[in-house]
Chains A and B, each alone.
Chain A
């Protein structure tokens, strides 16, 4: 039995539809990310689950209990806000204790639960401080402690790491994942950062324009993107315009002035259609000049740390950005050199224009 179920959830406003018939079934203890660009509806869904926004239609169930009409304060969920929303006039202790007091937990039991929550986010001993006396990272942890102290059924995160600098963000990603495993609480995590979503989640729900694009494990999303949007959103894409061709029994796509790439799978669109093509930088392989692959010339080389990026002008037209690991054999190609790019037909993602 799924723990959190969203059925045909819709949110319509006067001038646009934020969420269109979204259905998701999330298992007990699962960490699910809602991933997408801003405006895709992920935050709206989160706030509907929390009860802060009323859906236009659809159902939200926790453990098979319909909670759609239940007011916010009776849903037994936790929510970590993007701005943390710590009560500035209360100490850290009082902030964390707030939810517990509402549950009538008092005295010694209260103190123990608060200490337990603070210890789990590694902030023991800071109970008497005020939020303004803490760093951004510490405030974030207090927000998490406050949310889990009342032991809610579901834990929601609204882009909680976007205000942190990169190093802290990486650290917090591991912390949160570790915490979630320890506590075992069903978690819904909203983010626009694909790296975050892929690294932290058991499953990822990719969204665009209020519609679910794909709901699968990170590996599935990365290796087998279901739609053109997912293909271009996950990984580092080359986005090109091309023409779909049918040669013999094979489907091909023509890019630029004559570069033809075989495409795996049956064609969905008629031959001759203009199509959007996505080739991911990490899917393309640089090959030595003697091996198979489409010929081209290196124009530019960028060292990005763990990998090297090349801009390769292909014979027959388009420029492609190709990656190579910086510790590998192809890390030292110089501009002007010839190269071959191997493109697996399964990694040529073709979609209708638009």
Chain B
């Protein structure tokens, strides 16, 4: 491939047009949802009117970010099989959610997972701790998404980075502010359909060049880049790092507040189960697609173009692989469509994160800490909306502040905190009768604190960002230490500070946990 031309980097009017159509439709849906979003139940949980199948699609949509679409396709394109290892880690947390968390979560809680953790404990300290863990997870995830959005849009639509960030901030705030959970759910569903549909078309077009036999594609890849691309490469060099990352991804998924929040949009535990089944199916399918797309890009576009060695549009991470393949197989028009879908994906995910943050601030902190559990419906919705605007502004500021930084580690950090702070507290509160307020609070604080400190001391920050010679904490991911530490702390502190009242409530709570009696 000596000649190279791509329209990436030039203004793609079709992409912009499609994107405006998407925004138009979703804003219309937001308007429709707004008329139905007056109460807290509607703002936080779409009035529990979402079906199991719809929620499954929304969950999948929330989880399939632009970063995973472009990042994983890029990783497969540049490194082959290793990209699959990475994506599998993201998938296998979902069955665990199903087996351990989904039904008790839905039965015990009302709008947020902190409802479950604080169910029979003293509200104030537990809510504050859980809210802190949630907000930190959300913030780091949000920074990564906003920075990714800015740089992606800059490439796709030729807009200045700052304009892109502000645009994303404004549109997503509108979704949440006016349409609440109902609007964000439908935005996620639409985006999931577009993303899966678009990716499927890319795969069909790609495989058509190989007689619809993926083995021919793999053979070509091996011929061009060596047999090594078809089996694990150097990605897992340190087994402890692999285990740590695996733990963070598997258990972090079960601690992501914006994911857990979606479980309250369905009427009951049975629908919650169905959601996980549907979501797992779509997400699994998505990772199979990104695997083929990665190889397709490797063969049809070529690693040199993807990495930017030739042509200058690529980057070392290979993030342009999927887009370049779309253009190579479907032309500039198809590139425009996929680019618009990628942008839509970012919008949807940041909207979900913002809603989750707003509900943590209003439901967990305002109602249960400041107002001591007494909820004035209208007041609560107003606080939630004010929090939405504040978070929208904050996300734009953070996006602008972190411009140009390599923020990929922040997603890993978000998962690590979710795995180390949120998940242990959630699991122990469901399973263990001797779990106490002090234990919950201590566990969350230790988990969050260790995760943050160890990431700062890890190679990605200590060496790459702060330019020190050697990392104090040798692994890239803190989960292997911070998660067990959180569990152990929670257990020991709970045993040291018995709360007979909470222990007594655990028995009565069982009817609600397992039979759904009295669930909201």
Real binding pair: no
Interface of A toward B, CB cutoff 8 Å? none
